[in-house]
Amino acid sequence: MEKNTNKNPNHQEDKQRDLQINKSDGTNKFLTTNQGVKINDDNNSLKAGERGPSLLEDFILREKITHFDHERIPERIVHARGSGAHGYFEVTHPIPELTKAGFLQETGQRTPVFTRFSTVAGSRGSTDLARDVRGFSVKFYTQEGIYDLVGNNVPVFFIQDASKFPDLIHAVKPEPHNEIPQAASAHDTFWDFISLMPESMHMVMWAMSDRAIPRSYRMMEGFGVHTFRLINAQHESHFVKFHWKPKLGTHAVVWDEAQKISGKNPDFHREDLWEAIDTGNYPEWELGVQVIPEADEHKYEFDLLDPTKLVPEELVPVTIIGKMVLDRNPDNFFAETEQIAFHPGHVVPGIDFTNDPLLQGRLFSYTDTQLSRLGSPNFHEIPINRSISPTHNNQRDGHMRQEINTGRVSYHPNSLGGGCPYQAMIAEGGFASFNERVDAHKVRERSASFSDHFSQATLFFNSQTETEQNHIVKALRFELGKVATTAIRVRMLGLLNQVDAGLAAKVAQGLGLEVPASPEKPMNHGVGADAEPGKHEPTLTAQTVLSSDALSMLKNPTVTPTIASRKVAFVCADGVSEASVKSLKAALLKNDAKACIIAPHQGFIATDEGGALPVDFSFLNSSSVLFDAVFIPGGQGLNSISEDRDAMEFINDAYKHCKVIGADGEGVDILSAPLFSAKGGALQDGGIVISDTAGDAAFAQEFISAMSAHRYWERENML
Interface contacts to ligand HEM, rule CB under 6 A: 76-79, 82, 116, 118, 135, 137, 150-152, 157, 162, 165, 225, 340-342, 358, 361-362, 365-366, 369-370, 373
| CB of 254 vs ligand HEM, minimal distance in Å | 25
Question: Phi and psi for 554 in degrees, rounded to 5?
Answer: -75, -20
Structural contact between residues 491 and 196, judged by C-beta atoms closer than 8 angstroms: yes
Smaller CB separation from ligand HEM, 45 or 447:
447
- Spatial separation of the C-alpha atoms in residues 618 and 203, rounded to whole Å: 41
Which of 443, 461, 546, 549 lies closest to 502, judged by CA? Answer: 461
Which of 692, 690, 666, 682 lies closest to 718, judged by CA? Answer: 682
- Contacts of 274-277 with CB under 8 Å at 24 or more apart are 274/83, 274/329, 275/565, 276/216, 276/218, 276/565, 277/85, 277/326, 277/327, 277/328, 277/329
Please identify which of the residues 11, 79, 243, 710 carries the catalytic annotation: 79
Smaller CB separation from ligand HEM, 59 or 364:
364
Smaller CB separation from ligand HEM, 190 or 650:
190
Smaller CB separation from ligand HEM, 366 or 460:
366
| H helix intervals, 138-254 | 165-172, 188-195, 201-207
| CB of 151 vs ligand HEM, minimal distance in Å | 5
Which of 479, 459, 450 lies closest to 212, judged by CA? Answer: 479
Q: Is 298 an annotated catalytic residue?
A: no
Which of 84, 367, 368 lies closest to 217, judged by CA? Answer: 84
Smaller CB separation from ligand HEM, 340 or 515:
340
DSSP state of 385: G
Q: Is 332 an annotated catalytic residue?
A: no
| CB of 418 vs ligand HEM, minimal distance in Å | 37
Q: Which residues pair with 214 in a beta bridge?
A: 252
212: left (phi over 0), alpha (psi -120 to 50) or beta: alpha
Smaller CB separation from ligand HEM, 242 or 570:
242
Which of 575, 583, 689, 586 lies closest to 640, judged by CA? Answer: 575
Largest CA distance in the chain: 90
Burial of 673 (0-12, 13-18, 19+ CB in 10 A): middle
| CB of 400 vs ligand HEM, minimal distance in Å | 17
Smaller CB separation from ligand HEM, 78 or 98:
78
Angstrom CA distances, 123 to 74, 127, 216, stand at: 11, 9, 19
| CB of 189 vs ligand HEM, minimal distance in Å | 18
| CB of 442 vs ligand HEM, minimal distance in Å | 20
Please identify which of the residues 6, 11, 86, 152 carries the catalytic annotation: 152
Catalytic residues: 79, 152
